[in-house]
Every structure is written in C-alpha cells, then in structure tokens.
Amino acid sequence: MYSLPKLTRDVSLNAIAVLTSGGDAPGMNPAIRSVARAALNAGIEVYGVQRGYSGLIIGDMALLDSASVSNIVQRGGTMLKSDRCDAFRDPAVRKQAAAILRERGVDGLVVIGGDGSLTGAHLLAEESGLAVVGLPGTIDNDIFGTDDTIGFDTAVTTALEAIDKIRDTALSHEQLFLVEVMGRNSGFIATQVGLAGGAEMILVPGYEIQVESICFQLAADRAAGKGSSGIIVVAEGPTPGLTYRLAERLRSHDQTAKVCILGHIQRGGSPTGHDRVLASCLGFSAVEYLRAGYSDIMIGVQNGQICQVPLEDVVNRSKPLDPALVDLVHLLHR
C-alpha cells in the first residue's frame, strides 16, 4: 500500500480537466475514475477530454459526474480514448489548447500518459501558466522519477501467462522459443518477465546482441544439463522485425528457434489489482497537488510513497535499467 501525501489545500479550483494520451495502458480507467471522484467530492467540476491532445485542441470535452465513471475500474483501455497528436508539438497549437481550457473555466489539467504525453504537459504548463499535473501511464515503466507506472504490472502479468503456456510446448519438443515483448527503447518488461518466467536469457535495448556468444552459451548449458526452459525473452527494440532477424542469425549457427510475438495483447485486458490501486492513489494525489497549488509536476511513487517530480526532470532525464537484474536472470537459470 502507498503512503498518500498530506498537503495544505491553498487553491480554490472551479474546474479541472483530465485526458489520456499516447499508447493506452491498463489502469488508465481507474486513474480517470479517481481523478473525477476526488475532484467531485471536493466540489470541483471535471471535464473529460476525448482522444487526448487531439480532442483538447478542438475542445472535444464534456463534464463528468460520478455516474460517468461508474463500473470502469475493471476495464482495460481508456474510456476517454487516446491518440498521438503530432500537432501538439506546435507552440501555436498549445496556445490554442490553453485558450480553450480557459474559455471552459478550467483551472487545472491532469494528463495521463507516457514520455511524449508528459513532454506535452510540461510545455503546456511552462508556456501557458496553467496548472498541469502528469500521471505516468505506460506499460513500459520507463518514466524517470517513479518506481512504477500505470499498466506495467498488468503487461508483465499478461506476458507471463503467455510464456507459461509457450513453455509447455518448448519443453515437450525441446524447442527454443524467442518470445518478443514490448519495449522499443526500454527493457523493463523483458527483464521482469524474464526473471519471473525463468527465461534462459533476455535481450534488451542497450545490450549488444552477440549471436555467437548466445549460441555458445546455449550449447554449453545444454551440455552441462542446464538451460531447460527453452525461452529467450526479447524486447522488441526500435526497429521492427528484430526477433525474426535474430532467429535467422541463430539458424545460421545451427540453433533453431521459433518466434512468438506477444504484441498488443500486453496493452489490453483488465488491469491487475496492483495497477488499480496504483492508478487510484495517483489519481487522487493529482487532485490533491492541484488543490495545493502545484503545477508542472508528475505524481509518481518512490519507495512506497507517493511523490511529486518536476516534469522538466521527467522529460529530460532517463530511467536506467538495473544491469544487476539482467545478470540475475541469467544467473538463476544455471
């Protein structure tokens, strides 16, 4: 359980808005519900913005009441829909969005999304003076300043369920499987899944893939009676087709491997209890920080405590993957 902030409420808010942006993540709906009900119970009106920044720049938003967010806590995806809005990179478009919010009497905005969405939130706050608070909503868990992100636990759980089934075939046929999980520039899902799923090895961004070394290690492990899972977890990487190219290279070294792409099933489905609690705590805290006069921050969690991190730090700094965890995956397999 998380330790919630205790803040002095210095600001009177008439209305706030909430939007979800970028890739959807399981737990966004519980976050929306928490933001809406925390605000409504404080006498603050709440606008739900449709399709992220794409809806914001055309004023596509409507007032939410308590009934609007009923029975969504268990639903995956986002009831507000989402989009990737390239137009929001334009300062003139952000200025237009701020004007629309002010016309509706909106005093604060909550943005739920990943690094690109939080970059937009930072620029909007910096340029317009509007109170903006971000929540880390991404399955990749690659956001600086927070130990966890909304959707990460569900994505890992979904991938693990698939890997446990793949393993049955891998063991029955003594077959090697390359299981690709999401993570273009991040290896957090692959590392967590590999560790929890007992993978033979994991391949993640930032670590050079040495096919010869992989083949040597696989052969040595089998000769020593080690390496029994038949599973190698591969983060998808920035270039499509990485796992298929890797399978071809392995075949050229007499290692036959089947490819299984888990793809977007990791982004769907009901959020786990962990993600529902995380999203609910972060959503409530976002409203509390707005009422306390904070802006241009992200609400995250560090060491079990809800915390606030300047959005400038969030968007300009990267969250490193602990190499010791990568080593641990390989150590525990032998």
Q: Which residues are catalytic?
A: 140
Q: What is the DSSP string of 36-97?
A: HHHHHTTT-EEEEETTHHHHHTTT-EEEE-GGGGTT-TT--S-TT-----GGGGSHHHHHHH
Instruction: Give the N- to C-terminal CA distance of the chain in Å, as an integer.
Output: 34
CA distance linking residue 307 with residue 57, whole number of Å: 30
- What DSSP element (H or E) covers 99? helix 91-103
What are φ and ψ of residue 278, in 5° steps? -55, -50
What is the three-class DSSP state of 126?
helix
Give me the count of residues in the chain: 334
CA distance linking residue 219 with residue 236, whole number of Å: 24
**Contact call for residues 332 and 204 (beta carbons, < 8 A):** no
Q: What are 317's two structure tokens?
A: 């700094």
